Amino acid sequence: MRVVIQRTTSASVKIDGVINSEIGTGVVILLGIEESDGKEDIAWLCKKISNMRIFPDDVGVMNKSLLEVDGEALVVSQFTLHASTKKGNRPSYIQAAKPDIAIPLYESFVSELRRLLGREVQTGKFGADMEVSLVNNGPVTILIDTKNKQ
């Protein structure tokens, strides 16, 4: 699994011009899933995201986690995170999991993050054409790939 995490003061997802979900202070998580990903990737990644110290403390140092600031999360499926650009000018997405594998893993990821945060997690709609808007606070943008845990 690959994620792009962006710390935000506000974010929303529109589908067909209508706001589907929105959050205030928290993180937007763009989630890419590969065929080889599994439950252990979900557990590791959700724990990492919920405890990552990327929010400022009282003196402005990034010392607080999403849990500590009672932040919100917005998860958006993003198969293009697995684009291969080695050949030609058209990215290949063959590493991205097909919907029959990706959808259950996406739903499990959202459920596990919800469990760890103890609050509702907002989402986009898997496979939909979405407009994601956010105010990247910092800016803070973090990339994580579960294939690189070490």
Q: Identify the CATH number of the domain in which residue 140 sits.
A: 3.50.80.10
Total structural domains within the chain: 1
pLDDT for 7 equals 98
The two structure tokens encoding residue 69: 């600031």
The answer to whether 106 and 114 have CB atoms below 8 angstroms apart is no
Nearest residue to 115 (alpha-carbon basis) of 46, 30, 23, 20: 46
- Rounded to an integer, the average pLDDT of 37-51 is 97
pLDDT digits (tens, 9 = 90+) for 95-141: 999 999 999 999 999 999 999 999 999 999 998 999 999 999 999 99
Query: Which residues are known catalytic residues?
Result: 80
pLDDT digits (tens, 9 = 90+) for 55-88: 999 999 999 999 999 999 999 999 999 998 998 8
- Residue 149's pLDDT band, with cuts at 50, 70 and 90, is confident
pTM of the model: 0.95
Domain with 68, as residue range(s), is 2-148
